[in-house]
Amino acid sequence: MDLARIRADFPILARRENGRPLIYLDSAATSQKPVPVIEAEARFYRERNANVRRGIYLLAHEATELYEGARRRIAAFLGARPEEVVFTRGTTEALNLAAWALGETRLAPGDRILVTEMEHHANLLPWQEVTRRRGAELRAIPITPEGHLDLGAFRRLLDGRTRVVALAHASNVLGTINPVPAIAEEAHRVGAVVVVDAAQSVPHMPVDVGELGADVLAFSGHKMLGPTGIGVLWAQAELLEAWPPLLTGGEMVREVWLEGATWADPPARFEAGTPPIAQAVALAAAVEYLEGIGMEAIRAHGEALTALALEGLLARPFAEVYGPRDPRARGALVAFNLKGLHPHDVATLLDQEGICIRAGHHCAQPLHRKLGIPASCRASFYLYNTREEVEAFLAALDRAWEALR
Amino acid sequence: MSPYEEVILEHWRNPRNRGRLDKPDLVGVEVNPLCGDAVRLELQVAEGRVTDVRFDGQGCAISQAAASLLTELIRGRTVAELREMRDEELLSALGGVIPTRRNCALLPLRALRRALGG
């Protein structure tokens, strides 16, 4: 990977904070955008803007071609079929749609849904809501002290009433990469549907839906160099065909009478209203950019930076690190605390040096409760980060510790 | 402005009036669910004037230092005066607070307003 060339593609990295170069270590919250993505969105508005699927004129035809072309591009990236790729507003909307539709089609009173203790709220609250509405039961697979899923407990919780197993592919706090293929195999044995929150994995490593073995997968565009306002719900065709729409309105129907309507086929059935057209085009440009560098190379780079950060944190007796110690078992992020210091103080001191890290509960309150901490700091890495930046981050932690201890 | 002016560091390392009162007349608790910061203020009031004050809590250096400093600012003042107390008084007593952290600094003041029934 030619880091200097990659960094030159991200205009925001030229920004300076307090006279120092910006060091952006919060890509797990949202990634920065390269020029080809920014330009793809701008070019669409300059040259091709029209609504999709309805215009007879050439411009609308071209816009539709670009929008559907983006779907095909993203499907190929995932090893999926285009008709299985639904554009949503983001991971949150995708998971809400999946939870609602599975509730409508598969969930009866007394049934069970399994989540995990490490879920982001986006993959917890929709299941809380659907189990509450349907009179079903929600159980969480516990984590081990190392931050892995407790697979023995999973097997004990998985029973004939289990209809859904919903889990993160990679945790946004612990970093843990969960063994989705093995979990899916066991879940399928009892007939459960496997829903994967891939918001922290698809941007960072090769993900092929066939190899993963899940039934439903959700991720966001903005964490993978794409724009905000677009995400993807991938689901097996037979599921999508059975699902009713969550949102109804324009563009998702076949025939409408005053008394009722028939639904369009997937994926249009789940894309009511004008979709994020320019954003889909820009997301396809982001996928092209990522593939141009190679997902294997991006994964290797993220793993190397995570290893460096982990090593540096573990060598500092005043730091407490959460999640697996082995960088190969985790995504490109590390959550930690400096003993006795509040994460907000640490983040503010690093911000003074132009270093952006996240501090808080990262939308995973139950996980923080389990860890016995109110909040944590998190540094996350992406293809544009360098070893020098990780080293600057570690040195800044030493200064923060000295300033406040 | 540094985010951690000497006055903040000093109050954080050596908090004043930390603890509980035996029989407080007024109590105010304020929490920030986003970061887990919490401040509890207890006041003893005689003839409309604060005669004693304690704070307790947990959280970041800025919220806890602000709580400590606030106890010094309010002792001896009347309840009527404290009802009029402005954010700027506490912020400037702290030596100024960067915009991203004003919410932390004002947490104890919100606890005070709660104690005063505002």
Q: Which helix (H) or strand (E) holds B31?
A: strand B26-32
CA–CA distance, B63 with B68 (Å, rounded to integer): 9
Low-confidence ranges of chain A (pLDDT < 70): none
The verdict on B31 touching A (C-beta cutoff 8 Å) is no
User: Which DSSP symbol is given to B7?
Assistant: H
Q: Do the Cβ atoms of B12 and A403 come within 8 Å?
A: no
Q: For residue B18, give its domain range.
A: 6-115
Inform me whether the pLDDT recorded for B32 exceeds 90.
no
CA–CA distance, A240 with A44 (Å, rounded to integer): 29
pLDDT at A117: 98
Q: Do the Cβ atoms of A348 and B100 come within 8 Å?
A: yes
Contact A136, A108 (CB under 8 A): yes
Q: Is residue B28 part of a domain?
A: yes
Q: What 3-state DSSP class applies to B94?
A: coil
- Enter the pTM of the model: 0.94
The CATH class of the A38-291 domain is alpha beta
Give the start-to-end residue ranges of the domains of chain A: 3-25+294-400, 38-291
The verdict on B45 touching A (C-beta cutoff 8 Å) is no
The residue of chain A nearest to residue B11, with distances taken between CA atoms, is A404
Q: What is the per-residue pLDDT across A240-266, written as a single tens digit (0 to 9) for each?
A: 999 999 999 998 999 999 999 999 999
Contacts of B3 in chain A (CB under 8 A): 348-349, 352
Q: Which of A76, A242, A363, A373 is catalytic?
A: A363
- Across the interface, of B3, B12, B59, the residue whose CB is closest to A348 is B3
CA–CA distance, A319 with A401 (Å, rounded to integer): 9
Q: What is the per-residue pLDDT across A133-190, written as a single tens digit (0 to 9) for each?
A: 999 999 999 999 999 999 999 999 999 999 999 999 999 999 999 999 999 999 999 9
Whether ipTM tops 0.90, in short, is: no
A38-291 has the same fold as A3-25+294-400: no
- Across the interface, of A342, A359, A361, the residue whose CB is closest to B61 is A342
CA–CA distance, A207 with A169 (Å, rounded to integer): 10
> Which of A212-216, A246-250, B3-7, B73-77 is predicted with the least confidence, judged by mean pLDDT?
B3-7
The residue of chain B nearest to residue A345, with distances taken between CA atoms, is B60
The verdict on B28 touching A (C-beta cutoff 8 Å) is no
pLDDT at B118: 58
Closest CA–CA distance from residue A342 to any residue of chain B (Å): 5
Task: State the Cα angle at A309 between A308 and A311, rounded to 5°.
Answer: 65
pLDDT at A53: 87
CA–CA distance, A281 with A55 (Å, rounded to integer): 18
Q: Is residue B1 part of a domain?
A: no
Q: Do the Cβ atoms of A404 and B9 come within 8 Å?
A: yes
pLDDT at B1: 55
pLDDT at A106: 96
Contacts of A349 in chain B (CB under 8 A): 3-4
pLDDT at B35: 76
Inform me whether the pLDDT recorded for B33 exceeds 90.
no
Which CATH number is A3-25+294-400's, of 3.90.1150.10, 3.100.10.10, 3.40.1190.20, 1.10.274.10?
Answer: 3.90.1150.10
Catalytic positions of B are: 35, 104
Q: Do the Cβ atoms of B60 and A344 come within 8 Å?
A: yes
CATH number at residue B82: 3.90.1010.10
The total number of structural domains that make up chain B? 1
pLDDT at A160: 96
